Amino acid sequence: MKRIYRVALSLAITALAGCDRNDLLRIATPDAITPENLNSADGAEGLRVGAIQRLKLMTALDESSWFYGGMLVDEWKSADTFIQRDETDQRTVREDNSLVTTAYRDIHRARIQAYQAAQGLNTYKPAAKGEIGEMWFVKGYAELQSALDFCNGQPFADLSSGSPDLGTPLSGADAFKLALSSFDTALAIVGSATDTVNLRVKYSAQVGRGRALLGAGQQAQAGAAVAGIPKTFSFNLTWPTTQGKEDNLIWGLASSARRYTVQDSADRQGGRIPNAMPFVSAKDPRVPTVQNPKFGFDGSTPFDGQLVFPNFNSPVPLANYVDAQLIVAESQLAANDAGWLATLNALRAGPTNMGAITITGMSPLTDPGSAGARIDLLFRERAFWTFGRGQRLGDLRREIRVYSKTAAQVFPGEGGINPRKNSNYGPDVNLPVPQAERNNFKFGGCTDRNA
């Protein structure tokens, strides 16, 4: 027996002597994509999948500016104990708000990774026009969301050399132009192709382009941008069928965890919120709610749970036919085209799909008669159709910037008291670029906090 052990030990020592010690210390990581592995078709595809994940994070998979923009206005009310959420609900957002910092980073990480993926796909999978165009759409969508939600003077990474570099601050108008350029590139790449992927990218980029043009005050061009989008179109963010892997976080935070509650103009903690929408009390089928359980996460704030996204895997429309028709209606109204009301009423008559909800048989709207009241009605309709999808803050800023309204006329809480905190609402009409961005020596803070 001893002889067998000696032979085995001798063989082991011989084997070790023939090994490179670097091989012994090297750790195999088959699930990690290293930089050198990106220079291939598979690597480019990995970047594309990662960019889609980043897109989800900057919208409905992380606590994004969809949430914080909605809380700054009237979609959400804090039912939480975190000061970062409470100060946003109060419209007094600090530059060092850690959750807003994450939201800003999510947007710009999505933008950069989408660009890198587009470059990789163009090199290693040049025939994949739909996927390349999709990355330019993601890039444009990130630029659009940042322009809608954050202050003037945002720094966007300079990608002109092919790799990210420090960028100079851009005005809101220039940020919309940046988004338009990306959407235009997406449309040019997919061209007239008619397969499923290319058409999804085409219609999504058209909607993105229309929204960016509205932001820039070009209503006529916006209406033309969304021509031809069919009623069946919806680009939905989707989720796994198993809970806990990758859940819809709108459901996660505003239903499951109850850290957000739906805001209503008639606040249940007392008082009326100036300029806020009656998202709860209107009992509108586009924003269904439930008052169960009684309180939110903090144990004291009355809870109105959203049912727009009723399950952990409810789809979230990123761009759809409804968005296109709302753009058409605004374009028609700006041109004094009486068809604007018929466009809105067609959506209400339905059937009109909105992710997990299908709307049908709503009573038709009537013309309120004056230019100002028509604009108010249009934006009220937009508020209910786009609830929770990152558009409300940009809409209210546009009412100020394009339609010459004041914050006192449109911003929720303006001049009033926050019932939950029993203190005055602050003046914020956008989110600040976070303090961490001041590490960029080209950025010295927001140019201004105007709409």
- pLDDT tens digits, one per residue of 421-442: 888 999 999 999 999 999 999 9
pLDDT interval class at 9 (50, 70, 90): very low
3-state SS record for 403-444: CCCCHHHHCCCCCCEECCCCEECCCCCCECCCHHHHHCCCCC
Q: What is the predicted pLDDT for the residue at 163?
A: 86
> Could you identify the residue written with the tokens 């704030």?
301
pLDDT interval class at 37 (50, 70, 90): confident
Task: Tell me the per-residue pLDDT of 76-129, one tens digit each, with 9 for 90 and over.
Answer: 999 999 999 999 999 999 999 999 999 999 999 999 999 999 999 999 999 999
| Number of CB atoms found within 10 A of residue 109's CB | 17
pTM: predicted TM-score of the whole model, two decimal places: 0.93
Residue type, 271: G
For residues 393-403, give the mean pLDDT. Answer: 98
> Could you identify the residue written with the tokens 């590139």?
185
pLDDT interval class at 20 (50, 70, 90): low
pLDDT interval class at 10 (50, 70, 90): low
Q: Which of 133-142, 162-171, 311-320 has the lowest mean pLDDT?
A: 162-171
